Amino acid sequence: MFKIPFIGPFLESVNPKFEQYHAKWASGALSCVSVFHKFVVIASTRDMARKVFNSPAYVKPCVVDVAFKLLRPDNWVFLDGKAHVDYRKGLNGLFTRQALEMYLPGQEEVYNKYFADFLRISQEEHKGQSTPFMVHFRELMCAVSCRTFVGHYMDEPTVKKIADDYYLITAALELVNFPIIIPFTKTWYGKKAADMVLEEFAKCAAKSKVRIAAGGEPNCILDAWVIQMQDSEKYRQRLAKGETVDDSEKPVHVLRDFSDFEISMTIFTFLFASQDATSSASTWLFQLMADRPEWLEKVREENLRVRGGDRDVALSMDLLENMPVTRAVVKETLRYRPPVLMVPYMVKKDFPVSDTYTVKKGMSHCQNYPLKYNTNGQSGSMVVPTTYPALHDPEAYPNPDYFDPERWISGTADRQVKNWLVFGTGPHYCLGQTYAQMNLMAMVGKASMFLDWKHDITPLSEKIKVFATIFPQDDCLLTFTPRE
pLDDT of residue 1: 31
pTM over 0.75: yes
pLDDT over 70 for what percent of the chain? Answer: 91
Between the two ends of the chain, the Cα-to-Cα distance in Å is 64
**pLDDT of 478 higher than 90:** yes
Which of residues 10 and 153 earns the better pLDDT score?
153
13-40 pLDDT tens trace: 556 789 988 998 998 898 887 766 678 8
Q: Is the pLDDT reported for residue 11 higher than 50? A: no
DSSP states of 422-433: TT--GGG--TTH
Query: 68-72, 145-149, 172-176 — which is least confidently predicted?
Result: 172-176
Confidence of residue 50 (pLDDT cuts 50, 70, 90): very high
Fold of 66-339+403-482: Cytochrome p450 (1.10.630)
Look at residue 363 in the predicted model and tell me its pLDDT.
54
Q: Is 82 helix (H, G, I), strand (E, B) or coil?
A: helix
In this prediction, residue 7 has a pLDDT band, given cuts at 50, 70 and 90, of very low
| Residue that wins the pLDDT comparison between 179 and 107 | 107
- Please choose, from the candidates 115, 95, 81, 41, the residue with its C-alpha nearest in 3D space to the C-alpha of residue 273: 95
pLDDT over 60 at 5, yes or no: no
pLDDT tier at 79, thresholds 50, 70, 90 = confident
pLDDT at 159: 94
Domain residues of the chain, as ranges? 1-65+343-385, 66-339+403-482
Residue 439: HSE in the Cβ half-sphere, 13 Å Cα cutoff? 31
Confidence grade of residue 187 (pLDDT, cut at 50, 70, 90): confident
Q: Decide if pLDDT at 235 tops 70.
A: yes
What is residue 441's predicted lDDT score, i.e. its pLDDT? Answer: 98
300: which residues sit within 8 A by CB, 6+ positions away? Answer: 448, 449
Q: What is the pLDDT of residues 102-123, one digit of tens each?
A: 999 999 999 999 999 999 999 9
Angle at which helices 134-150 and 97-120 cross, to 10°: 140
According to the model, what pLDDT value does residue 360 have? Answer: 86
Judged against a pLDDT cut of 60, whether residue 375 lies above it is answered with: no
Q: Which residue has the higher pLDDT, 341 or 78?
A: 341
Examine the pLDDT at 369 and tell me if it is beyond 50. no
Please report the pLDDT score of residue 380 as a whole number.
64
CA 422/CA 47 separation, integer angstroms: 14
Angle between helices 134-150 and 260-291 (to 10 degrees): 140
Q: Half-sphere exposure of 415 toward its Cβ, with a 13 Å CA cutoff?
A: 7
pLDDT for 14:
53
Q: Of 227-241, 260-274, 375-389, 397-411, which gets the smallest average pLDDT?
A: 375-389
Mean pLDDT across the chain, nearest whole number? 89
Identify the band that residue 267 occupies on the pLDDT scale cut at 50, 70 and 90: very high
CB hemisphere CA count around 139 (13 angstroms): 15
- What confidence score (pLDDT) does residue 301 get? 98
CB 65 within 8 A of CB 379: yes
Strands (E), 236-302: none
Contact 7, 36 (CB under 8 A): yes
Residue 172 has pLDDT above 90, yes or no: no
Flag whether pLDDT at 379 surpasses 90.
no
Tell which wins on pLDDT, 168 or 111: 111
- d(C-alpha 470, C-alpha 277), whole Å: 8
Alpha-carbon distance of 150 to 131, in angstroms, equals 31
pLDDT the model gives residue 12:
53
Q: How far apart are CA 266 and CA 253, in angstroms?
A: 17
Q: Is 435 helix (H, G, I), strand (E, B) or coil?
A: helix
Of the candidates 333, 360, 363, the one whose C-alpha atom is nearest the C-alpha of residue 349 is 360
Nearest to 446 by CA among 98, 101, 114: 114
